Amino acid sequence: MAEDMPAVGAIDLHAHALPVAYLSALDELGISTEAEDGFPQPTWSAADHLAFMDAAGIDLALLSISSPHPHRGDDALAARQARAINDELGAICAAHPTRLAFAAYLPLPAVAASVAEAARALDDLGARAVKVPSNANGVYLGDARLASLYDELDRRDAVVLIHPTAPAGPAPATFTSQVKPMYEFLADTTRTVIDLVFSGTVERWPHIRWVVPHCGSFLPEVAHRMVGINKILAPRGMVPEVDVLANIRHLWFDIAGDAQPVMLDALLKVADPAHLLYGSDYPYTPAPRAAANKDSLAADPLLAGMASDVFHDNAARLLGL
């Protein structure tokens, strides 16, 4: 265990819940997680999650909905399902106020409904953040249609968790389309963050605290390619001139998933270390593996001198704890 690990437990910024309302929404839409994402849907309960936290040394978990994103074209249905999901998440967390918090599910791409649900969840249900998918029915996060949502979130200094979902148009015959978490989730996260940067979204709404999952996905590997291409194309008017690395350092990053031995090292080359956050990805990462990943990260020399920040203090500052 790293020498500077705090006596208090970790804060988990990438943790998932599967409330009954979410499972019902998937059933109502005929969505199978295994068929759509090529990954088994785990079982979940608040009691099991708390037991995992106790065993792994996690004081607080910020719960969010994972993939699939249950909007399939009916805005009114999506808004109703979002209210039910967030009501249940709020009740679960209210029953365990010192251990569990949640990021509200937004029914994107229904923008007006998402603005209303963000306000309701943050003001009335005690949500600490909101969660958005990497794309919602092909609408990526740099899309101009989301401006009114960003106006509201920027006004609130909101924490916005990005979570990968199936890309809008993967090549269906490829293996990566069949097992989407292996590559397509990372690719889609990277795609939407590049969209945020080059659309000017990060700079236009600077008070939104974006949390990018899984060590930034492929963003660290392509960051300097983004810089190089910007230098070639911006003078020709083909893309806007953007300070790519400054935009990236503005973002926050969780280190959930298989961060070692490559992804954490790459992330530290481009991200602000004060913006790194621990994440377990429980229960999609089973408890024994999630606990082993946490122990391995705590002992990683890359985090020497900042383990307490990454596992606790950065998240406490982000969430205003």
pLDDT tens for 234-251 read: 999 999 999 999 999 999
Q: Between vectors from CA 291 to CA 52 and to CA 293, what angle results, nearest 5°? A: 150
Tokens in use for 138?
């092909």
Among the listed residues 231, 284, 267, the one whose alpha carbon sits nearest the alpha carbon of residue 44: 284
Q: Which amino acid is at 174?
A: T
Q: Which residues contact 14 (CB under 8 A, 6 or more apart)?
A: 62, 64, 161, 213, 254, 256, 277, 278, 279, 280, 281
Is 296 inside a domain boundary? yes
What pLDDT sits at residue 7?
52
Is 2 inside a domain boundary? no
Supply the mean pLDDT for the chain: 94
Is 19 inside a domain boundary? yes
Alpha helices in 17-74 (DSSP H): 20-29, 33-37, 46-56
Q: Which amino acid is at 126?
A: G
DSSP code string of 113-130: HHHHHHHHHHHHS--SEE
Alpha carbon dihedral 47, 17, 44, 55, in 10-degree steps, equals -50
Is 4 inside a domain boundary? no
Full domain range(s) for residue 159: 10-319
pLDDT in tens, 92-113: 999 999 999 999 999 999 999 9
- Band of the pLDDT at 8, cuts 50, 70, 90? low
Among the listed residues 147, 86, 77, the one whose alpha carbon sits nearest the alpha carbon of residue 119: 86
Q: Crossing angle of helices 20-29/75-95, nearest 10°?
A: 160
Q: Between vectors from CA 317 to CA 126 and to CA 320, what angle results, nearest 5°? A: 25
Number of domains in the chain: 1
71 φ, ψ to 5°? -120, 125
What pLDDT sits at residue 170?
67
pLDDT score of 209 more than 90: yes
What pLDDT sits at residue 286?
97
Residue 65 CA to residue 83 CA, distance in Å, equals 13
Is 161 inside a domain boundary? yes
Tokens in use for 27?
């059933």
pLDDT score of 217 more than 80: yes
pLDDT score of 169 more than 90: no
Is 46 inside a domain boundary? yes
Is 5 inside a domain boundary? no
Instruction: Output the domain CATH number for residue 254.
Output: 3.20.20.140
